[in-house]
Structure 1
Amino acid sequence: MLHMKTGAEQHYFALLDQLENVTPDCLDDDRYVADRGQITADDKTEMAAICEACPLVKACTTYASSAQPPAGWWPGHNLIKRRKEAA
């Protein structure tokens, strides 16, 4: 039986493929995995700018939108906060 990947899995593997050729500036930046209370307004602005300049921003955004990760800043935004605001 053929296993079909979910949309989130497809987007994850597409992001992984692109990561083979690009090292994003967010890599090893602990702010992207920090708790919300540890991120300052200046951090948020800088993180968003890093993401906007990244060649992976489209793939990262697509993956994060479909996977809805429970934590972290994807891409440069707190997705949990965005989900609560959209509700």
Structure 2
Amino acid sequence: MSVEGGIVANNGETLGQLAAAGVGITRVGRFSVVTEIADGRLVPLLDAYNPGDVELIHAVFIGGATTPARVRVFVDFLVKRLAGRTV
């Protein structure tokens, strides 16, 4: 069986919205579709075959003395909020 698709995206939320709209199935980080799963709009498939991989999140910014305080505060928030998380 050959699987073909006409939609390509690099955003988990977009792919989740498309799947919830009935366009097809997708493989995204659970955190991208946790609400859709909780609402019953999406159901996890092939959980037994999930390799347990984690989608990395990167905060990229230019550091140094010119970094705005709001950027530093946000990055610190992300580090604290996501530390040790495996959703």
| TM-score w.r.t. length of structure 1 | 0.29
- TM-score (structure 2 length as normaliser): 0.29
| Greater fraction of residues in helix | 1
Larger radius of gyration: 2
Q: Relative contact order (C-alpha < 8 Å, sep 6+): which is higher?
A: 1
